[in-house]
Every structure is written in structure tokens, then in C-alpha cells.
Structure 1
Amino acid sequence: MKIKAIITGATGMVGEGVLHECLQHPDVEQVLVINRKPGGVSHAKLREIVHNDFFDLKAIESQLTGYNACFFCLGVSSVGMDNDEYKHLTYDLTMNVAQLLATQNPAMTFCYVSGAGTDSTEQGRLAWARVKGATENALMRLFSNAYIFRPGFMKPTPGLKNVKSYYKFIAWLYPIGRALYPAGFSTLQELGLAMIKSATQGYEKRILEVKDIVALAKR
């Protein structure tokens, strides 16, 4: 199966890594990135829309049809943010985009980058985990082909722009962590490959923890 994918968050580390894998993968025919600012990537498969307001997509709505996958990598940290603002920029923003895509591309595979420790019950102690859990649950109700990815520590893909400087200082940790605690460590390349393969092959679980991400990437 060949896919035509929409990617959000491609100017961030995770989205850039997923985009990198898509542009190299033979099963990905076309990629549309929706960025708030130009991403600076040029490729024959790639088209970019620069659009600042993800709460108002009317101006670009007609350009979002004909895609059978969405890799939603857009997200914010909850650090220093009050609960209402975090919910608005996580749940409300994601669902605004997802509901439009579900209307225009109902058979789409929607892949959402969540995070380890997310609370599916929506009842836990941590506010960010409840919000992420609510977002995951709503997406799985909306799309019959929704996959939730919960990465932990990810080794970035060498050579990309968004490899944070602090990773250079903790790079030594990755091989140790992967050996001692494989359930918490993967590479960004594995995440990208697993997202592509969920769209082309499917997966037996709708929520993919780190071990599932690594296993699917290897298939």
C-alpha cells in the first residue's frame, strides 16, 4: 500500500525525524507538511503549507483532501503552563485538525505522537497525562484507523536540524538505557518507520508503547 501523508509539527525534532523517514521510504508517495513557519526542506515528494492558526483552517481546507495518512507530531510541553492553556493547545487544537481531516478523508490512518505515562482513564493525578489520555481516546473514537504512539527517551536522527545540543551530553546514556530498560528507549528513526508501517500494514494494538514501536519498525 502506498501512502500520501500529512505531517504536522515538522519543524520540531519529532516531526522533522518522521518527515525524514517519509521522504526516504518507498511506500510514501507524497508528503504535505503544515507548518507555522517555513521548514526549509526541499524534496520532490514534499509540499508545504505555511499556516499560522491551527484553530482556523478554512483558508487551507480545500488543500487537505486526498490523503490517506496523517502523522500528527505537533505538541507542546506542559512545563510552566496552566492546565486550561495546556488543554487548549493539546486536546482542542489536535481535535480541531482531526475532525476536519476525518470529514474530508474518513478512511485516513491517523497517527498521534503522545507520550509515555499518558493516562487512558483520564482520572489520574497528573493533569498533562489526563489531557493526553482524553486526546488519545477522542482520536480513537473519531478514526477507525487511529494509532497512538507513546515514545519514551528517543535517540535523535543524526544530521537533522533539530537535534538539541543537550543530546550531545547525554548520548552516552542511550546504549546503556536501551540495554537495561528497553521498554523506555527507542530511536526517532524507529518511531518514523513504525508510523509509516502502521499506515501501510496496520498493527494489532491501537496504542503503541516503546516495545511496540521498536517491534513494528523492524517488520
Structure 2
Amino acid sequence: MKLVLTGVTGAAGIQIFRQAVLDAAITKITVLSRRALPSWMDIPENDKTEVIVLKDFLDYPSDLPARLAGHDACIWALGKSSVGLSDEEYTRITYDYTTHFVDSLQEAGTKDKTGEPFRFVFVSGEGADPSGKSNVKFARIKGMTEKALFDLPPSSNINASVMRPGYFFPFKASDRENIRSRTARSMDCLMTPIMKTILPSMYIPIEDLGLFAVEAAKGRWSDEKLFPNSRMRELIKASRTLENQQ
């Protein structure tokens, strides 16, 4: 299986990347990144990863869409906090980058592809509002992106699904130091035990998030389109229970 990944230097994306590298069913990983991957990333050594640096996620090299359309799936974890960004900036990063990728795939041939559809897994977040009525920037624009994906016609031959993880944090020290600010790290120490005990349905261990994303990209649970945090945890728990019984 050939997989496209974005956002691999973020808290969710880096764990998804590690999980994909360790999965024997995935034979090729193409990482789209805005810059060369930093040296602090602790990724298992492998020979199946190719990194493509894009200066602009709205202006692909002419040969790239066809190369990407030859893959089987994409996990789109690219994103940024909406804090401090204008609506225009956050829309460009969240909505425009995502829909440009999907549109480029269709133009490059996914709609003419026979057999299994291209699977597109979008990492959204709890609170996203596809109705577009929310006054919260994150909820409105993430929701708008979800709606665009769910509105893809069958003729696109793209099977889009959406993950809405709740609270999570990097478990490796090097990840925390390079991804989270000092303030965010302090909040993680405070929030994690609270979320685990008081609101467990809104918390997900980062390892479970990574595993869920990769399994979804492989076509597991393909009869479902939207995965709230509680549903993700439920499915992962059921999967582990089944494995332990075998």
C-alpha cells in the first residue's frame, strides 16, 4: 500500500508517521512537507519514505498530482492552531490546502481509476461544525473543510473520512520540547490527568490516534465516515480485544 502523509512535524502527524513506518502493509510513504524534516524527529529507520518539500501547498509541481494519484490513501494531518491567525490565513491552511489536494487528485486521474477508491483521512477535531454557523474560527473552518470532503461525488472515486480527536499530547520528550511551547507543556501536565479521569471520552492517547489514522487509511471501518473521539477510542479498544482473543 502506498500512503501520502502531511503534517508529520505536528503532534498528531509525527505519531501517524511512526505508525505508518512500522506497518508492514505500507510499502511506500510520501511525505509532503513545507520544509526538510528536522533532525530531532525520532522516526524508525526505513527505506520506504520519500519527502517532497513544497514551498506552496497551492502550487504543486506539474508532475506531482499524477504521482500522488498513484497512491492508495492519504492522511491529512497538516494544520496549525487558529490562535493568532486571521480568518483568511486559517482558511488557507485548513480549507484551501486540503481542497486543492483533493481537486488535484481528481484532475490527475482518481476519478478514472478502477478498483478501490482513493482513501482520504482528514484529521479534524472535536467541536468542528460543518453547518458553518459557529462563531468559533476553528469550529467553523474545520467544519467547512469536513463538509467539502463529505460532499465529494461518487464520481471523484475518493472515499473521505474525518477523525475528530479530542485532547492529546506528545509522549516523547523530544516531541514535547520541539512541538509544544513551555506554556503548552505545563498545560499538558495539568490537563492530561484531568481529562483521563473526568472527561475520558474527550481524551485519546497519542499512540491510539496514530494507530487509528493508519488503520482508517488502510480501509478499516470504511463503512463509517465520521469518527468522533469517543468512537475512535471505542473502535481501537474493540480491535485490541479481538486481537487478544486470537
Following TM superposition, by how much is the alpha carbon of 1:188 offset from its aligned partner in structure 2, in angstroms?
A: 1.8
Is 1:150 the equivalent of 2:150?
Answer: no
Which residues of structure 2 form unaligned runs of 5+?
A: 112-116, 240-246
What is the root-mean-square deviation in Å for CA atoms of aligned residues?
Answer: 2.2
Give me the identity figure in percent.
Answer: 29
Distance in 1 (alpha carbons) for counterparts of 2:187 and 2:58: 37
Q: What is the 5 A alignment of 1:16-55?
A: 16-39=14-37, 40=39, 43-55=46-58
Distance in 2 (alpha carbons) for counterparts of 1:216 and 1:155: 20
Q: Which amino acid aligns with 2:53?
A: V
Q: Which residue of 1 aligns with 2:242?
A: none
Residue-by-residue CA offset, 1:86-142 (whole Å, 9 max, x unaligned): 222221121101211244334111011111111121122223311111100111222
| 1:122/1:134 contact within 8 Å kept | yes
| 1:16/1:160 contact within 8 Å kept | no
Is 1:207 the equivalent of 2:222?
Answer: no
Distance in 2 (alpha carbons) for counterparts of 1:204 and 1:178: 29
Following TM superposition, by how much is the alpha carbon of 1:18 offset from its aligned partner in structure 2, in angstroms?
A: 0.8
Distance in 2 (alpha carbons) for counterparts of 1:19 and 1:8: 9
Q: Aligned pair in 2 of structure 1 residues 157, 101: CA closer, same or farther (>3 Å)?
A: farther
Q: Which residue of 1 aligns with 2:135?
A: 125
Q: Matched residue pairs, number?
A: 217
Q: Which residue of 2 aligns with 1:73?
A: 77
Q: Which amino acid aligns with 1:153?
A: Y
Of 80, 86, 99, the match for 1:82: 86
Distance in 2 (alpha carbons) for counterparts of 1:45 and 1:185: 32
Q: Aligned pair in 2 of structure 1 residues 157, 44: CA closer, same or farther (>3 Å)?
A: farther
- The list of structure 1 runs, each at least 4 consecutive aligned residues, that deviate by more than 4 angstroms after superposition, is none
In our comparison, the structure showing a higher alpha carbon Rg is: 2
Distance in 2 (alpha carbons) for counterparts of 1:163 and 1:91: 22
Q: TM-score, normalised by structure 2?
A: 0.79
Following TM superposition, by how much is the alpha carbon of 1:174 offset from its aligned partner in structure 2, in angstroms?
A: 2.0
Distance in 1 (alpha carbons) for counterparts of 2:95 and 2:159: 19
Which residues of structure 1 form unaligned runs of 5+?
A: none
Following TM superposition, by how much is the alpha carbon of 1:160 offset from its aligned partner in structure 2, in angstroms?
A: 5.0
Q: Aligned pair in 2 of structure 1 residues 160, 189: CA closer, same or farther (>3 Å)?
A: farther
Q: Which amino acid aligns with 1:68?
A: D
Q: Which residue of 2 aligns with 1:116?
A: 126
| 1:17/1:157 contact within 8 Å kept | no
Residue-by-residue CA offset, 1:55-104 (whole Å, 9 max, x unaligned): 01134334313211100011122212222222222211211012112443
Is 1:192 the equivalent of 2:210?
Answer: yes
